[in-house]
Chain A
Amino acid sequence: MTELITGLLQESISGIALGCIYALIALGFTLIYKATEVVNFAQGEIMMVGAYINFFFVTQFAGMTGGLNGWVFLAALFCSIIFAVLFGIILDYIINRPLKDEPVFSIIMATISLAIILRSLTAMIAGPISLIPVSPFGDSTIKMGGIVISILDLAIIISAIILMALFFFFFNKTRWGIAMKATSEDSEAAQLMGIPVKQVYRMVWVFAAIVGVISGVLLAPRMALLDTTMSYLGLKAFPAAILGGFGSIPGAVVGGIILGIIETVSMGTLSFHFEWIKEINDIIIWIVLIAVLMFRPDGLMGEAKVKRV
């Protein structure tokens, strides 16, 4: 019995790490949806591009300095974030601006096309062979009680918390952050205040690209192989966002983390004890998704919409 419990605890921590990544993907997705009402199906591809770009910088810097060390990873992360800023600006120009007031259907088709283009372009540039991702922490672990935690998981959790705290601060305490919230509530009224709505949209896309790229950077070392199919994990932003409450930023975070835990735990110890869980592991989160849509369509943190007219 204690074995089961320590197993569950250990997997929960690993699940939280995976969940933090889902949360970041869902966060980028929700940011864009909330502010511009664009449903961005390419968020997973942004993440994948981020993982590739970071890999590229890591190998370049490692080649230049003659070895992998902490500075190489930091410098690569820094360059990846700069890339993300440019990437976000470009996406704003080619997707958001021309499609802003088009019907939802056109926007969905455009972002799906963007997803396919990004996937193909990455495969073209990086070549068809899967890469072997490198982790700045290797396989090192720490032991706490009977639980073994990988340093990488811990680093993922800490980075995600820092990133989310920064976002929280930005959205609630700064002039531009509040302007972003105001714009997503009522863009015309925001325009009447003199808030430069177009600049706000651009900023939203840049932010989404930054969290997307960082989620890719964090996810890659957890994977055995790095290839373009990684982007399909981005689709899990949907169950995460819906579980938490579509359009709610804290909801996206909570939903993502819950999803990560469910997935990891059901894949691990539980599947040793209950054979049937293994069989449904791949579809379990989609079952959760349908159940949420059926019984609690507003999600866990979805706000009941109160409007006074």
Chain B
Amino acid sequence: MLKLVGVETFYGKIKALHGVSLSVEEGQLVCILGANGAGKTTILKTICGITEPEYGTIHFNDERIDHKDPEDIIKMGISLVPENRRIFPELSVYENLMMGGFLIKEKELFEERIERVTSHFPILSKRGSQRAGTLSGGEQQMLAIGRALMLDPKLLLLDEPSLGLSPKLVKEIFTIIKDLHKSGVTILLVEQNVNHALRIADYGYVLTTGKIFLSGTYEELLDEEKVREQYLGEGKYVRRSKLWSGR
């Protein structure tokens, strides 16, 4: 469904991605793991067309999408839930969802999508007229996901949905992601939260400083001594709860 081959992205003169290749098949939940600054967010931004790759190709359903405008890529069915949620805090919850469905022209379809999203996240309809900035962190994350679902994407990109949430909410968010996946949405998930992410993923890629370092299924990656080294800091033991905080 999505295929990246040898993608290299630059920020000015700094190379952020050193030839990244990965693929996501229809119906899969794939996760990209990596520490801060490894280039996870850059991969997602490059897929969405917000940053353009210098080299390499990106195909979505056999159509080449690198160098397309973000607007066109979104219309093809890729939605991104950005890091830190990035809801519109001054707009109401309903207006946020409305913006998520900005591209929908037909009124009936729009109402239908609002209905579907709010049935997924009932809290959003309860808080409909409230300013989005007043929602709690977990509710904001639900709003951010709901907003992206307004366009009924074929592929949903999630950038660190657990960032800054309490352990209880992290669990909740991952349950939501799992349910979404079960309901048929293909998901590419970027996370620092190794345990949770790998547990629900079909396949994982580990990214270090702009390169794919390892890839495999949950079992393969958990067994891999290298993953532990990478995440638990050169063999030092770090409590799992620290990973939950996303730092």
Contact = CB atoms under 8 A, between A and B. Distances in A.
The judgment on whether A and B are partners is: yes
Interface in A125-181: 175, 178-179, 181
- Which residue, B71, B80, B98, has most C-beta atoms of chain A within 10 A? B71
A182 B133 contact: no
B104 to A, nearest CB: 10
A44 B87 CA distance: 35
A181 B100 CA distance: 14
Contacts of A185: 88-91
Contact of B79 (A179, A181, A192, A308): A192
Interface string A179-198: 10110011011111111100
A179 B133 contact: no
Which interface residue of B86, B88, B164 has the most chain A CB atoms within 10 A?
A: B88
A193 B147 contact: yes
Contacts of A309: 84, 164
B210 interface: no
A307 interface: yes
A3 to B, nearest CB: 47
Contacts of B88: 181-182, 185-186, 189-190
Contacts, number: 69
Interface in A50-99: none
Given A179-B99, A179-B102, A191 B91 contact: no
Interface string A288-309: 0000000000000000001111
A188 B89 contact: no
B140 interface: yes
Given A178-B99, A185-B89, A188-B50, A193 B84 contact: no
Given A188-B82, A307-B133, A194 B102 contact: yes
Given A188-B50, A192-B79, A308 B89 contact: yes
B70 interface: yes
B86 A188 contact: yes
Nearest to B49: A191
Interface of B: 48, 50, 70-71, 74-75, 79-80, 82, 84, 86-91, 95, 98-100, 102-103, 133, 135, 137, 140, 147-148, 151, 164
24 contacts: A175-B98, A178-B95, A181-B91, A182-B91, A182-B95, A185-B90, A186-B86, A189-B86, A190-B88, A190-B99, A191-B50, A191-B71, A192-B48, A192-B50, A192-B70, A192-B79, A192-B82, A193-B100, A194-B71, A194-B74, A194-B75, A194-B102, A194-B151, A306-B133
